Amino acid sequence: MSFMDILALIIPAAIVSAAPLIFTALGGVFSERSGVVNIGLEGLMLFGAFTGAVTIYYGEQFGLDGAAPWVSFVVAMIVGALFASIHAVASISLKADQVVSGVAINFLAAGLAIFLTKKIFNAGQTPVISERISKSDIPFLSDIPIIGKLFFSNAYLTSYLAVFVALIVWYVLYKTPFGLRLRSVGEHPMAADTMGINVKKMRYVGVLLSGALAGLGGAVYVASISGNFTHSTITGQGFMALAAMIFGKWHPLGALGAALFFGLAQAISISGAQIPGLQDIPKVFLLIAPYVLTILALAGLVGRADAPKALGTPYEKGKR
């Protein structure tokens, strides 16, 4: 097996498993940059996956065919934002502990999604969908020698969408007045308030966007990877996205890079057995690599990761 074959095996797989992580991690960036911790990404992603699976299933019944997954993405984003609004109300308006509220979101999403699945389908899982996002080559780009084969052929459109969305998020956060405001309420809400920025409103926007993107991440996971929703569809991908966001230092492009890297680790752990030199490495090291690296990054051993300054503290007007 040549080196190129190995790359051709791993890189497309890495990009595929990274896409849901990228969306969800970008959601985390919005929420945490506005100063609200979002441990609930896991739950939001899970509920997005449930919504996606149900919407695609019924979309197929109504004859949406190939459009069903794309409709499901929109629905999952709306439902994700609605679900995140619970976290927003609790942690912004009612000044609840943001971590506790996030934990509750995870519980609620897991319980409600399986409860509804059992109610609607009378079974522990949703039916397997037939309209998945299909693999395709990107015209022209896939003809580029070497790079084209690795990055632009035989991959899901959603993966490129994820990269594109990361660029948009970067532009919004760093090149627009809205982004500056969102970041400012996460760093120093009182200063932002003094400048006439509505702190609570900005934080609501941040949390709702995180819900929408995490929901999208979950739906993309169903449409491209799992094909249906069960209790074990989303087990830790949301937390891995959280890790990617932190490893990427709360920066959209950093999160993108980290998610791709974690996707690579997953891809190697799945197809590593076929690769000479890698089959001797126990799979467990590849499985735990994302988490170990995140801890090392936080400890300052792999570049310092600093959280937004006001992260986790509710804003109270006039409090010193």
Partner 1 sequence: MQNNTKKIKFIVPLISVFLGLLIGGIIMLISGYKPIEAYVALFQGIFGGSYYIGETIRQMSPLILSGLAVAFAFRTGLFNIGVEGQLLVGWLAAVYVGIFVDAPAIIHIPLAVLAAGVAGALWGSVPGILKARFKVHEVITTIMMNYIALYSTNEIIRNFMLAPGERTENVKESASLASPFLQSITEYSTLHFGIIVAIVAAVIMWFLLWRTTLGYELRAVGFNQHASQYAGINVSKNIVLSMAISGAFAGIAGSMEGLGTYQYMTINAGFTGVGFDGIAVALLGANSAIGVILGAALFGGLKIGALNMQAIAGVPTELVGVVIALIIFFVACSYLVHWLMNRVNRGGKI
Kindly tell me which of 84 and 243 has the beta carbon lying closer to partner 1: 243
Please work out, in degrees rounded to the nearest 5, the angle formed at the alpha carbon of residue 243 by the alpha carbons of 271 and 23. 80
Taking contact as CB under 8 A, which single stretch among the options 9-17, 130-138, 178-186, 241-249 is the one that binds partner 1? 241-249
Whether residue 320 contacts residue 44, with contact meaning beta carbons closer than 8 Å, is answered with no
Backbone angles phi, psi at 156, to 5 degrees: -85, 145
Kindly tell me which of 92 and 169 has the beta carbon lying closer to partner 1: 92
- Closest residue by Cα to residue 249 from 160, 193, 311, 201: 311
Contact call for residue 295 and partner 1 (CB under 8 A): yes
Rounded Cα–Cα distance for residues 236 and 43 (Å): 10
Report the nearest approach of partner 1 to the CB of residue 312 (Å).
8
Q: Which of 100, 128, 195, 281 binds partner 1 (CB under 8 A)?
A: 100
Which 112-171 residues touch partner 1, going by CB under 8 A?
Answer: 112, 114-116, 118-119
Q: Which of 78, 108, 190, 197 binds partner 1 (CB under 8 A)?
A: 108
Whether residue 94 contacts residue 307, with contact meaning beta carbons closer than 8 Å, is answered with no
Tokens 């920066």 sit on residue: 251
Contact call for residue 243 and partner 1 (CB under 8 A): yes
Contacts of 56 by beta carbon, 8 Å cutoff, 6+ apart = 68, 69, 71, 72, 129, 131, 222, 223
Report the nearest approach of partner 1 to the CB of residue 103 (Å).
6
Rounded Cα–Cα distance for residues 213 and 210 (Å): 5
Report the nearest approach of partner 1 to the CB of residue 8 (Å).
27
Report the nearest approach of partner 1 to the CB of residue 33 (Å).
16
Backbone angles phi, psi at 153, to 5 degrees: -115, 150
Contact call for residue 17 and partner 1 (CB under 8 A): no
Report the nearest approach of partner 1 to the CB of residue 162 (Å).
22
DSSP state of 128: P
**Which residues form the interface with partner 1 (CB under 8 A)?**
37, 39, 86, 90, 94-97, 99-101, 103-108, 110-112, 114-116, 118-119, 232, 235-236, 239-240, 242-243, 246, 282-284, 287-288, 291-292, 294-295, 298-300, 307
